[in-house]
Structure 1
Amino acid sequence: MAKKVILDLDTGIDDALALAYTLGSPELELIGVTATYGNVLVETGARNDLALLELFGRADVPVFIGEPHALAKDSFEVLEISAFIHGNNGIGEAVVPDAQAAPQEQGAVDFLIESVKKYGDELVIIPTGAMTNIATAIKKDPTFAENAHIVFMGGALTVPGNVSPWAEANINQDPEGADIMVRNSNDITMIGLDVTLQTLLTYEETKQWRALGTPAGTFLADATDYYIKAYDTTAPHLGGCGLHDPLAVGVAVDPSLVTTLPINLKVDTEGATRGRTIGDETRLNDPVKNAKVAVAVDVERFLAEFMERIGRVARGL
Structure 2
Amino acid sequence: MYASIRVAFVEIKGGSFVKKVLLFGDIGIDDTAALIYARLHQEIEIVGLIADYGNVSREVAVSNILYLMKLFNFPKEIPVILGAEVPLTGEQPTYFPEIHGEHGLGPIILNEDYDFKTENFLEIVNIIKKYKDELIIVNIGRLTSLATMFIFYKDLMRNVKEIYIMGGAFGVPGNVTSIAEANFHGDPFAVNIVLNYAKNVTIIPLNATQKAIVTPGMVDYIDHFGKAKIFKPLMEYYTRFYKERDPSLLGSPLHDALTLMAVMNPDMFTYESYPVTVIDKLDGPARGQSIAETLPNENLNAGQKKHRIAFDINYEKFFHNFLSVMTGQQVNSDLK
Pair 312,299 (structure 1): closer, same or farther in 2 beyond 3 Å: same
Task: Give the alignment partner of residue 51 of structure 1, picking from 67, 73, 87.
Answer: 67
- The one-letter code sitting in structure 1 at the alignment partner of 2:25 is L
Cα drift, residue 284 of structure 1 = 4.1
Task: Give the alignment partner of residue 175 of structure 1, picking from 188, 191, 197.
Answer: 188
- Residues in 2 aligned to 1:259 and 1:144: alpha-carbon distance in whole angstroms: 30
- The one-letter code sitting in structure 1 at the alignment partner of 2:288 is G
Task: Give the alignment partner of residue 179 of structure 2, picking from 145, 166, 171.
Answer: 166
Matches within 5 A, 1:115-130: 115-130=127-142
Q: Deviations over 1:73-122 (max 9, x none)?
A: 153342xxx11010001010225664532342322xx2333322332221
Q: Is it true that 1:38 corresponds to 2:49 in the alignment? A: no
Counterpart of 1:113?
125
Counterpart of 1:132?
144
Pair 5,300 (structure 1): closer, same or farther in 2 beyond 3 Å: same
Consecutive unaligned residues of structure 1, counting only runs of 5 or more, are none
SS where residue 264 of structure 1 aligns?
strand
Q: Is it true that 1:296 corresponds to 2:312 in the alignment? A: yes
SS where residue 137 of structure 2 aligns?
strand
- The one-letter code sitting in structure 2 at the alignment partner of 1:118 is K
- Residues in 1 aligned to 2:215 and 2:300: alpha-carbon distance in whole angstroms: 40
Pair 138,132 (structure 1): closer, same or farther in 2 beyond 3 Å: same
Contact kept, 8 Å, 2:103 with 2:109, in 1: the verdict is: no
Contact kept, 8 Å, 2:275 with 2:301, in 1: the verdict is: no
SS where residue 228 of structure 2 aligns?
helix
Counterpart of 1:196?
209
SS where residue 250 of structure 1 aligns?
helix
Task: Give the alignment partner of residue 219 of structure 2, picking from 206, 213, 219.
Answer: 206
- RMSD over aligned Cα, in angstroms? 2.2
Cα drift, residue 254 of structure 1 = 1.8
Counterpart of 2:333?
none
Task: Give the alignment partner of residue 155 of structure 2, picking from 121, 128, 143.
Answer: 143
Contact kept, 8 Å, 2:196 with 2:305, in 1: the verdict is: no
Counterpart of 1:7?
23
For the pair shown, which has the larger CA radius of gyration, 1 or 2? Answer: 2
- Residues in 2 aligned to 1:283 and 1:8: alpha-carbon distance in whole angstroms: 35
SS where residue 158 of structure 2 aligns?
helix
Counterpart of 2:12?
none
Q: TM-score, normalised by structure 2?
A: 0.85
Q: TM-score, normalised by structure 1?
A: 0.90
Matches within 5 A, 1:247-258: 247-258=258-269
Counterpart of 1:231?
242
- Residues in 1 aligned to 2:274 and 2:74: alpha-carbon distance in whole angstroms: 37
- Residues in 2 aligned to 1:103 and 1:46: alpha-carbon distance in whole angstroms: 10
Contact kept, 8 Å, 2:24 with 2:139, in 1: the verdict is: yes
Pair 309,99 (structure 1): closer, same or farther in 2 beyond 3 Å: farther
Bigger shift: 123-132 or 200-209?
Answer: 200-209
Contact kept, 8 Å, 1:3 with 1:122, in 2: the verdict is: yes
- Residues in 2 aligned to 1:51 and 1:99: alpha-carbon distance in whole angstroms: 9
Pair 164,252 (structure 1): closer, same or farther in 2 beyond 3 Å: same
Bigger shift: 69-78 or 190-199?
Answer: 69-78
- The one-letter code sitting in structure 1 at the alignment partner of 2:53 is Y
Q: Is it true that 1:69 corresponds to 2:69 in the alignment? A: no
- The one-letter code sitting in structure 2 at the alignment partner of 1:177 is A
Pair 44,224 (structure 1): closer, same or farther in 2 beyond 3 Å: same
- Residues in 2 aligned to 1:191 and 1:62: alpha-carbon distance in whole angstroms: 26
Cα drift, residue 67 of structure 1 = 0.9
- Residues in 2 aligned to 1:111 and 1:137: alpha-carbon distance in whole angstroms: 11
SS where residue 265 of structure 1 aligns?
strand
- Residues in 1 aligned to 2:118 and 2:213: alpha-carbon distance in whole angstroms: 35
- The one-letter code sitting in structure 2 at the alignment partner of 1:92 is G
Contact kept, 8 Å, 1:4 with 1:31, in 2: the verdict is: yes
Q: Number of residue pairs matched?
A: 306
- Residues in 1 aligned to 2:89 and 2:272: alpha-carbon distance in whole angstroms: 30
- Residues in 2 aligned to 1:115 and 1:284: alpha-carbon distance in whole angstroms: 37
- Residues in 2 aligned to 1:54 and 1:312: alpha-carbon distance in whole angstroms: 20
Which structure carries more helix by proportion? 1
Counterpart of 2:45?
29
